[in-house]
Amino acid sequence: MENEFLKHKIDLQILRGRWPLVFTVAAVLLLGWYWAYAGRALPHGGTFSGMAFGILAFLLMIFLMAYKARKHIYHLNLGPTSSWLTAHVYLAVIAGALVLMHIGFHLSGAFGAVLFALFALTMGSGVAGSLIFKITPISLMKDGREMMTRDILLEKIAKCLHDADHDLQGASERFMQLYRGEIRPFLELRRIPWSYLFKEERSLIRQRRRELEALSPQVSNDEKYHLRLLQNVVVEKERFVMRLVKVELFDFWLWFHLPASFVVFAMVLFHVFMVWYY
């Protein structure tokens, strides 16, 4: 059920809009150009078409690098960042195809092989990151205008546990035993639960509510309000953990994608300089 939900969400958010059509048209035109070009001569980067493919790929790379700057420019009306992300993904794939056409689908030398391998890894990680972003809207990582960073989320999760312990100071010993044995483990965070990446938040919340409601027969009528309060605290904590897992995943992704992008761009600039200089 959850896998179907994720697939449906990806289909709606990534495959809609004008970009699939733009990508299809561009792919058909480029493939037609390359087919006609390869039919006349051995394709390589030194021909007119080979240079044209390389220049187009370089221009697209400049746009791809501009996406990071766009995320920090809010005062200009440049369109929503989600649209820039979609364009970033589709144009990165087109840039990758242009690079292959530029080299004639043939790697030459160690520098070219390393550059292409890094470019392929960067493009692949970018596509993976876009899927993460589309499945997990950045709005889920905000609380009003406050960005839910890792440290803030850890503080809020710890506060849920602290508040629960504090609110139960007047509870009976029997209820405290139930709390320590059955409920408090839900509020503790010993490690990052990566399995939450494959869960839908609403399903997780419903599951936690059912598990806590199942404890109701063990609680006296006078203390059922404690159980209701704890239910709300556990739900709040699970929402913070769900966000924390996504923030951790984004941080891990950025740790690889951004440095790799800058290294690839620097190597491309060096390649362009060497070609024009010699």
What pLDDT score was predicted for residue 18?
76
pLDDT band at residue 143, thresholds of 50, 70 and 90? Answer: low
pLDDT above 80 (res 263)? yes
- pLDDT tens by residue, 54-71: 999 999 988 887 766 655
**Same structural domain for residues 74 and 15?**
yes
pLDDT above 60 (res 73)? no
Residue 270 domain-assigned?
A: no
* Nearest by Cα to 99 from 32, 41, 160, 34: 34
Report the alpha-carbon distance of residue 214 to residue 227 in Å, rounded. 11
Q: Residues of 198-226 as b/e, b for ≥16 C-beta within 10 angstroms?
A: ebeeeebbeebeeebeeeeeebeeebeeb
**Same structural domain for residues 157 and 234?**
yes
pLDDT above 70 (res 203)? yes
**Same structural domain for residues 16 and 122?**
yes
Report the alpha-carbon distance of residue 139 to residue 192 in Å, rounded. 21
Report the alpha-carbon distance of residue 134 to residue 86 in Å, rounded. 9
Measured at the CA of 65, the angle between CA 60 and CA 70, to 5 degrees, comes to: 115
Query: How many Å separate Cα 228 from the centre of its chain?
Result: 35
- pLDDT tens by residue, 89-135: 788 889 888 988 998 888 877 888 888 888 888 888 887 777 766 66
**Same structural domain for residues 24 and 120?**
yes
What pLDDT score was predicted for residue 215?
93
pLDDT above 70 (res 24)? yes
Residue 258 domain-assigned?
A: no
Rg of the chain over Cα atoms, rounded to whole angstroms, equals: 26
pLDDT band at residue 6, thresholds of 50, 70 and 90? Answer: very low
Residue 254 domain-assigned?
A: no
For residue 265, give both structure tokens: 């761009």
- pLDDT tens by residue, 169-202: 888 999 999 999 999 999 999 899 999 888 888 8
What pLDDT score was predicted for residue 15?
55
Domain limits for position 75: 2-135
- Residue after which a domain boundary falls, among 105, 135, 165: 135
**Same structural domain for residues 76 and 97?**
yes
pLDDT above 50 (res 260)? yes
Report the alpha-carbon distance of residue 151 to residue 244 in Å, rounded. 9
Higher pLDDT, 140 or 226: 226
* Nearest by Cα to 8 from 134, 110, 161, 98: 134
What pLDDT score was predicted for residue 162?
95
**Same structural domain for residues 125 and 161?**
no
pLDDT above 50 (res 2)? no
How many domains are there within the chain? 2
Report the alpha-carbon distance of residue 233 to residue 144 in Å, rounded. 19
**Same structural domain for residues 114 and 40?**
yes
Contact 197, 249 (CB under 8 A): yes
- Residue after which a domain boundary falls, among 110, 135, 160: 135
pLDDT above 80 (res 78)? no
**Same structural domain for residues 150 and 237?**
yes
**Same structural domain for residues 16 and 117?**
yes
Residue 243 domain-assigned?
A: yes
What are the φ/ψ torsions at residue 45 (nearest 5 degrees)?
-70, -15
Look over the chain and give the mean of its residue pLDDT values, rounded to a whole number.
82
Q: If you average pLDDT over each of 139-143, 145-149, 213-217, which comes out highest?
A: 213-217
**Which residues have C-beta within 8 Å of that of residue 161, sequence separation ≥ 6?**
184, 187, 188, 237
Q: What is the DSSP string of 201-237?
A: HHHHHHHHHHHHHTTGGGS-GGGHHHHHHHHHHHHHH
Residue 224 domain-assigned?
A: yes
* Nearest by Cα to 94 from 33, 17, 165, 155: 33
What pLDDT score was predicted for residue 80?
59
Mean pLDDT in residue range 252-269: 85
**Same structural domain for residues 75 and 117?**
yes
What pLDDT score was predicted for residue 76?
52
Residue 255 domain-assigned?
A: no
> DSSP 3-state assignment of 257?
helix
